Structure 1
Amino acid sequence: MIIGTLVVVILVVFLFFFVIIYQRKMLTNQVAIQKLQKEKQRELLNAVFETQESERKRLSEDLHDSVGQVLSAIKLNLYRLNTLGAENNTMSPVIEDTRALAEECILEIRNIIQNVLPPLLTDFGLGEALADLCAKMQSATGIQVECKIDALPGRYEPIIEVTLYRIVQELFGNATKHAQASEIKVSLIRQEGGLEIYFKDNGIGFNKNEAKPGFGLKNMQSRMQLIKGELEITSEPGKGTAAFITLKI
């Protein structure tokens, strides 16, 4: 009886430890599966955004090499026609107006190229690109933009610079199209081991509990997930909207 009881106790203890070990293995496997799923999701997002940036680059090159060159040739021909037909008072104003329209179209294409793939971002980095973006937004919209950019130690990975620039670009778009803001503050702060970006407008704001997240917000959050950063947006009706970006590098 004693031996039988001991055998039963040993079996129960063994079964108890077996269940615990099995549960731990299951949890470990679940964590591993979740990690793989996140990695796959991150790889997918990375592929999507790389494709987007590749298409942006191709579009800017096509605009510059084809449409931009053709318009420049049209502008030059119109200038020659205007010079040759200076004595024709009827045609000269028409040619001059057409040349002005061609010049305006060339400027618009240049602006599109800079928005699609900013040369300052690819050549000089995030700080210069954000400062230039702030100046252009103020010039284009008339909104007062206060921009403070810390000196950065050097260049970061292209995916980091492009992601942060696109998010700030999206925030500017929301502030100018929907927020009815008259003032915007943007700051790029260098922290030990990372970066912080603060964006604040004095627009109409919104109620976060009632607002449905749109494609722009989801796109920004997906981009931040890709570079393992954090994006926090706060807003109240009548008190504007603020976005706080933190990234450990």
Structure 2
Amino acid sequence: MDEKEVIIIVAIAIPVTLVIIVIVLFSVFARRKNRLLREQEEAKKVFDRELAESQIEIREQTLRNISWELHDNIGQLMTLAKIQAQMSLEKPEMMIEVSETIGTGIDELRALSKLINPEALKSLSLKQAVSLEIERFNRLKFIAAQLTVNGNVFPIESNTQIILFRILQEFFSNTIKHSKASSLKVVLDYTDEKLTITAADNGIGFEKDDNFMGIGLKNMITRAKLINSFLKIDSVKGEGTTLHLTYKFA
């Protein structure tokens, strides 16, 4: 094989090799792109599923709250007003008490109407939604609850807000049902970069191997990851439980 033939072969081989390399690289890129798209689609499906479940759980919790308030609070007030009205037939001066009891019932109904209207709930900010929960706990004397808001309230995308609120609602539910706590303190700390949420009760606490919060705790952790948040639960037996959640705005 003379030098000319070698040059011709090399001249042909180089572009062919380059074409093969380009085809291989394109194939690898296409596969990676398709895999990434599939992962993104799956992540979106997971997020949408968790969002839908959170919305359903919030509605169910809202309906339970309404049921409790109608039966245990407003129902009792109306029963008391009826008894007072009957007694006022013999003691007219009791009509003042009847009026006060009915007035209290009307105030409770107004507060309850905020929960009944789903569109109103959708339009609430995280701060407003948490405030309503805290007000309800105090009004019904479930627990002595306190909300502190630090910094300038930063707007949060509505779907993310729903998941954040559901995480907190799950913690509140566990506190009231299981912790035997007398106080609950919630802090929303806003900065330009992030929102830090702390919720602490002074209940019986639990140890890590107790699996105290079970599926509820797992759901909270899963949902926090979906919105790229860091969630940690600290608890000390006999001292209480604290939720720490950090959500970065960008």
Structure 1-normalised TM-score? 0.61
The aligned residue for residue 232 of structure 2 is 233
Partner Cα separation in structure 1 for residue 199 and residue 169 of structure 2 = 11
Partner Cα separation in structure 2 for residue 147 and residue 240 of structure 1 = 17
What amino acid sits opposite 2:40 in the alignment?
Answer: K
Pairwise CA distance, 1:211: 4.0
Please point out which of 27, 37, 51 is paired with 1:22.
27
Matches within 5 A, 1:54-203: 54=59, 77-83=82-88, 113=112, 125-131=125-131, 133-134=133-134, 137=137, 140=141, 147-150=147-150, 152-153=152-153, 158-179=158-179, 184-201=184-201, 203=204
Pairwise CA distance, 1:198: 1.6
2:48 is equivalent to residue 48 of structure 1: no
For each residue in 1:119-139, what CA deviation from the matched residue of structure 2 results, as whole angstroms up to 9, or x when unmatched? 997787443553564466578
Partner Cα separation in structure 1 for residue 245 and residue 72 of structure 2 = 37
In structure 2, runs of 5+ residues without a counterpart are 92-97
Is the alpha carbon distance of 1:160 and 1:132 closer, same or farther for their aligned partners in structure 2, counting shifts above 3 Å?
A: same
The aligned residue for residue 246 of structure 1 is 246
Q: Percent identity?
A: 19
The aligned residue for residue 95 of structure 2 is none
> Secondary structure of 1:21's match?
helix
Pairwise CA distance, 1:188: 0.6
Q: Could you tell me whether the CA contact under 8 Å between 1:60 and 1:117 is conserved in 2? A: no
Pairwise CA distance, 1:206: 2.2
Q: Could you tell me whether the CA contact under 8 Å between 2:186 and 2:197 is conserved in 1? A: yes
In structure 1, runs of 5+ residues without a counterpart are 88-98
State the superposition RMSD in angstroms: 5.0
Deviates more, 1:2-11 or 1:68-77: 68-77
Is the alpha carbon distance of 1:11 and 1:156 closer, same or farther for their aligned partners in structure 2, counting shifts above 3 Å?
A: closer
Partner Cα separation in structure 1 for residue 183 and residue 78 of structure 2 = 41
Equivalenced residue count is 227
For each residue in 1:126-174, what CA deviation from the matched residue of structure 2 results, as whole angstroms up to 9, or x when unmatched? 435535644665783566x664322544765554554433322322333
> Secondary structure of 2:208's match?
coil
What amino acid sits opposite 2:149 in the alignment?
Answer: I
> Secondary structure of 1:204's match?
coil
Partner Cα separation in structure 2 for residue 222 and residue 41 of structure 1 = 10
Pairwise CA distance, 1:243: 2.3
